[in-house]
Amino acid sequence: MPIYGPAFTANPHATYAVLRSQGAIAPVEIAPNVWGYLTTTYRAALHLLRNTPNRFAKSPHHWQALATGQIPADSPALMMMQPRDNALWMDGQDHARLRHAITSSLSRIDTHALSTTVTTIADQLIDAFAPSGTCDLVGQYTDPLPMLTMIELFGSPPDIGQRIVTAISRLFDTDQDAAAANSHLEIACLALTHLKRRTPQPDITSWLIAAGLTDEEMVQTILLVIGASTTPSSNLIANALQRIITHGRFAGSVHDGIHPVSDALDEVLWTDPPVSNYSPLYALGHQTFEGLVLQSGYPILVSFAAANGDPTLNIAPGAYAGNRGHLAFSAGVHACPAPDLARVIAEIAIERVLDRLPHLSAASSQLSRRPGTFHSGLTSLPVHFQPAVAPTGR
Ligand code: HEM
């Protein structure tokens, strides 16, 4: 079954249900002519994630179709699944060393300072559209906010930050020259690295340098952390805002403080995880699971969305709040190293919108979604609200 295209994106859970009826791990077409497997249950997802790297590898060098040149160069799967020289795609000691550099750097972030940074960025973005009474919350708020926050956390001066932002958006624009965008991005990340080697400051770039990374490792790690943090955070903020604005369970009650924002985030992380299917893994030798034989050489995508929606978990709709058993941040050695930072960024981003934009309501009932193979998120969220009469004075 395909896990791409408009029908899948519109209702992925229908596909997960059919695939689940075939088995805990089912064969799928990931993109046109790109074949692999998808986990369909919570147990299968955990089995793979917890047995990486001893029984399943993360390195795409085990991907047979890639090694034999069968993946079309313009395949959307390639951008998301090809090998890159960073922690996400490595196994064993190489992964452990690079991941330790990342986790030790992220652990030095002062979450109080982060709150202030996110609040300032949120207010600047809101100031730009508050007087108009209408905006697209994705294009004008949830997309730029995580990107600007990460640029700040990396201690990037505005000119290099702007070059990074422009190159990343070109990279994800399919009609642009990806190779040129990639090289602009690498040059900008290298410029940032050289600047921080000369003048270290209390920021992620300087902490990664202090952890001993080479220039090449710095470039790839900056790309990984910015890439891994921005789209998922935007999806989380937008999915939660949409739910708060439109869902009967939340409409009004989060605005009024009856439900804290964190309850809405927990519900989204369970029912609409921002990274829906990812962590492609490769069976090392002969592997079976619940009687299924897993052919080596094919990517097995872990479905965080199908795992969270596994009916055998039997979680009542009201029981998501405070329940962190979901797999939205993955699990095992490659689990997201920053779930707490992601929550801080998302909570503040949502609170600022609710505080600053009174009488917020959806301007359209037809919302378009990003292609759903790997991500679950909106491409736009048009809203109306009461226009702000005067600037806030910040
Ligand atoms: C809502 C926000 C976020 C979600 C849902 C999310 C989810 C995930 C998931 C599912 C993975 C595993 C991917 C895989 O194994 O292929 C991952 C990995 C990762 N995430 Fe996040 N993430 C979020 C925010 C962030 C933030 C804010 C940062 C950094 C500040 C970050 C940094 C990373 C890194 C570096 C990895 C790779 C870890 C490794 O391979 O060892 N993420 N994230």
Q: What is the pLDDT along the chain (394 residues), one digit of tens a residue?
A: 999 999 999 999 999 999 999 999 999 999 999 999 999 999 999 999 999 999 999 999 999 999 999 998 888 898 899 999 999 999 999 999 999 999 999 999 999 999 999 999 999 999 999 999 999 999 999 999 999 999 999 999 999 999 988 887 777 665 557 778 788 989 999 999 999 999 999 999 999 999 999 999 999 999 999 999 999 999 999 999 999 998 766 656 666 666 789 999 999 999 999 999 999 999 999 999 999 999 999 999 999 999 999 999 988 878 898 999 999 999 999 999 999 999 999 999 999 999 999 999 999 888 999 989 999 999 999 999 999 865 555 5
> According to CATH, what is the number of the domain 6-155+201-384?
1.10.630.10
269: its two tokens: 């992380």
pTM to 2 decimal places: 0.94
Strand order in the sheet with 134-136: 134-136, 382-384, 361-362
Q: Ligand 1 centre and the CA of 224: distance in Å?
A: 9
CA gap 338, 45 in Å, rounded:
20
Angle of the 144-153 helix axis to the 158-172 helix axis, nearest 10: 140
Q: Looking at residue 326, what is its pLDDT?
A: 97
Q: Whose CA is nearest to atom 2 of ligand 1?
A: 233
Nearest to 344 by CA among 91, 103, 116: 116
> Are 377 and 242 within 8 A, CB to CB?
no
Residues lining ligand 1, Cβ inside 6 A = 87-88, 99, 102, 106, 224-225, 228-229, 232-233, 236, 274-275, 278-279, 304, 328-330, 334, 336-338, 341-342
- Report in angstroms the alpha-carbon separations of 77 from 73, 294, 374, 377: 10, 20, 9, 17
In ligand 1, which atom is closest to the CA atom of 221?
Answer: 35
CA gap 377, 369 in Å, rounded:
6
Contacts by 212-217, CB closer than 8 A, 24 or more apart: 212/101, 213/98, 213/101, 215/190, 216/85, 217/85, 217/86, 217/98, 217/101
State which of 268, 327, 336, 348 you would mutate to test the pocket of ligand 1, scoring each by most atoms of that ligand within 8 A of its C-beta: 336
Q: Ligand 1 centre and the CA of 358: distance in Å?
A: 33
Q: Ligand 1 centre and the CA of 229: distance in Å?
A: 6
In ligand 1, which atom is closest to the CA atom of 279?
Answer: 16
